[in-house]
Amino acid sequence: MDKNGCHHDRKAGSYHCHRGSKPDGQNRSNEKKPTLQERQLFGRATVTDGDTIRIGKARIRLYGIDAPESQQTCSEDGQIWRCGDAATAALKSVIGSQSVSCTKRDTDPYGRVVAECRSGAVNLNVWMVRQGLALAYRRFSTEFVRDEDAARTARRGIWRGKFVRPWNWRKGRR
């Protein structure tokens, strides 16, 4: 890290600063902010799950959304279905063989780039929520709440039946 608490992230290929004040208490107004070009990732994507992809070595978490986990199930009319697998398959399908472009918003505690991503003209973050295969992750953003409301109203994806919110499922509240 440099004297401003910033450094180059070799894995993500970006420059970023850690939150909070500098150790010496100086103001951060002179810090270098990454340019749009430094925040862009582009290339063939590999889908990890319904809200995570890879482009090259960069692991990318889709900003502001949370999809069911890979092993998570949901129910519809008493029938169990693998909603986590469905979310992963849907993301793979919408991307297809197209390249993906992502704009970095942050880095999460696991070292993943947190980004808004597009495949062609499709905003993947919005698309997953509108299909009912991911929720607006209000803890981090309210940007996709309207898309979630549209999916709920149309009873798409997980909204067809019962499910546990992914953040509760991860905590073992199943």
One-letter identity of residue 104: K
Cβ burial of 111 (10 Å; 0-12, 13-18, 19+) is: exposed
- Note whether 150 and 75 are within 8 A (CB): no
Domain ranges of the chain: 35-169
- Of the candidates 139, 156, 116, the one whose C-alpha atom is nearest the C-alpha of residue 147 is 156
**In terms of DSSP H, where are the helices of the chain?**
36-39, 83-95, 124-130, 145-154, 166-170
Q: Kindly report the pTM of this predicted structure.
A: 0.79
Q: Which CATH code, of 3.30.565.10, 3.90.1310.10, 2.60.40.3080, 2.40.50.90, is assigned to 35-169?
A: 2.40.50.90
> Where on the phi/psi map is residue 111: left (φ > 0), alpha (ψ -120 to 50), or beta?
left
- Of the candidates 107, 138, 133, the one whose C-alpha atom is nearest the C-alpha of residue 41 is 107
Tens-binned pLDDT, residue by residue, of the chain (174 aa)? 555 555 555 555 555 555 443 334 444 455 566 665 567 999 999 999 999 999 999 999 999 999 999 999 999 999 999 999 999 999 999 999 999 999 999 999 999 999 999 999 999 999 999 999 999 999 999 999 999 999 999 999 999 999 999 999 999 965
